[in-house]
Amino acid sequence: MTTLEDLVNPGILSLTPYEPGKPIDELAREQGFTPDQICKLASNENPLGPSPLALQALQEALPHIHLYPDGAGRLLREAIARHHDLSVENVVLGNGSNEIIEFLFHVFVLPRTHEALCSRHAFAVYRLMAQLFDAPCRETPDPEFRHDLTAMRKSIGPNTRLIFLTSPNNPTGTRIPNRELEEFVRAAPAHAVVALDEAYIDFLDDPPPSVAWVREGKNVVLLRTFSKMQGLAGLRIGYALAPAPIASLLQRARQPFNTNLLAQAAAVAALEDHEHREKTRQIVRAGRIRLEESFARQGLPFVPSSANFVMVRVGNGDALFHSLLRHGWIIRPLKSYGLAEWVRVTIGTPEQVTRFLEIFPTALQETAAAPDSTGR
């Protein structure tokens, strides 16, 4: 007899779906909190909220949502191109930059034939997408949670089509030094595309000159998003910057109206909101120092971060996660990354950081009684 499983594509059966940060409303329902009693430091969202210029643009766009969006996203792509001094042919829009990851697989990876490459503890979506396409995603070790580009170079095989580099990386917060990154991109083989995920590039004081590599026509695709710095995660809008021949291939993989009218309008405005960007940078920098100093004082190992979150080793990450939930705080346990002893904390507003550092030792103490995650 034919079972449902016989009908299913092979990658689907073994796929464990992405585990997102716990939504505020869900915790409110479960624990009897009102949503405003809850603080979410789980998904690296902007604690200042969306760019005010984006909110204004949304107001102006709202009466027009009976119309289809511009499928080509011309205005936003032109704005992005101007912003980076590129041409509109270099820009591809995605329903979040995560959708661009999917385009990359559609364009370059044949199931059971080609493979992707990424660093251990890199962002989970590359592996998920590889599995969906029934293609292996090879992982290289990451000593001290850093990309080992020498190991990655050696791991490139004849069937490698996509090489994912994430800088700064999520969930580790580590970055690739600019010089190393440049050498890697320049030496990359012609048969593989380097997908450089720069979701957190706006938090770097000295970002790499990656846009120049696009201009030079290297085999590189930069992944950018409006979800983090610009505070538009709920709208789902991101983009790729790539040499025109690669960008035009990626365009073929997308649905006709993959990004919506509101997201396009908000993103155009957010792109030029320098004030919101500077404010966010400042509070993230200050909050990161306070979190890291506090973890150091408590003798907790943490990974020095280049982004808007910090990864810290707490013993039993799940237990701490649940303990904090009871106090109305959502952070991110990292068991799904094979890091059961660690959690990731997004940097909040100064007030949130203060209150978090007050509750944190209490919550940590509550977990001391729980058996630690390694079973020891």
Check binding of 259 to ligand PLP (CB under 6 A). Answer: no
Q: Which helix (H) or strand (E) holds 165?
A: strand 160-166
**Residue 221: strand, helix, or coil:** strand
* Residue with Cβ nearer ligand PLP (238 or 333): 238
CA distance linking residue 40 with residue 22, whole number of Å? 8
**Residue 40: strand, helix, or coil:** strand
Query: What x-and-dash track marks residues 23-62 binding ligand PLP by CB under 6 A?
Result: ---------------------x------------------
* Residue with Cβ nearer ligand PLP (122 or 319): 122
- Residue 57's alpha-carbon distances to 70, 272, 350, in angstroms, are 16, 12, 28
CA distance linking residue 86 with residue 20, whole number of Å? 33
Check binding of 219 to ligand PLP (CB under 6 A). Answer: no
Check binding of 280 to ligand PLP (CB under 6 A). Answer: no
Of positions 47, 96, 173, 328, contacts ligand PLP by CB under 6 A: 96
Check binding of 142 to ligand PLP (CB under 6 A). Answer: no
Check binding of 123 to ligand PLP (CB under 6 A). Answer: yes
64 pairs with which residues across the strands?
A: none
Check binding of 294 to ligand PLP (CB under 6 A). Answer: no
- Mark the segment that binds ligand PLP (CB under 6 A) among 133-141, 187-195, 206-214, 221-229: 221-229
Check binding of 170 to ligand PLP (CB under 6 A). Answer: yes
DSSP string, 288-353: HHHHHHHHHHTT--EE--SSSEEEEE-S-HHHHHHHHHHTTEE-EE-GGGT-TTEEEEE---HHHH
* Residue with Cβ nearer ligand PLP (45 or 292): 45
Sheet holding 91-94, edge to edge: 91-94, 238-241, 220-225, 193-197, 160-166, 115-119, 137-140
Check binding of 76 to ligand PLP (CB under 6 A). Answer: no
- Residue 311's alpha-carbon distances to 21, 270, 280, in angstroms, are 15, 28, 20
Among residues 102, 82, 83, which one has the least CA distance to residue 94? 102
Check binding of 233 to ligand PLP (CB under 6 A). Answer: yes
* Residue with Cβ nearer ligand PLP (233 or 261): 233
Check binding of 202 to ligand PLP (CB under 6 A). Answer: no
Check binding of 174 to ligand PLP (CB under 6 A). Answer: no
Check binding of 98 to ligand PLP (CB under 6 A). Answer: yes
Contacts to ligand PLP by CB under 6 A: 44, 96-98, 123, 166, 170, 197, 199, 225, 227-228, 233, 238
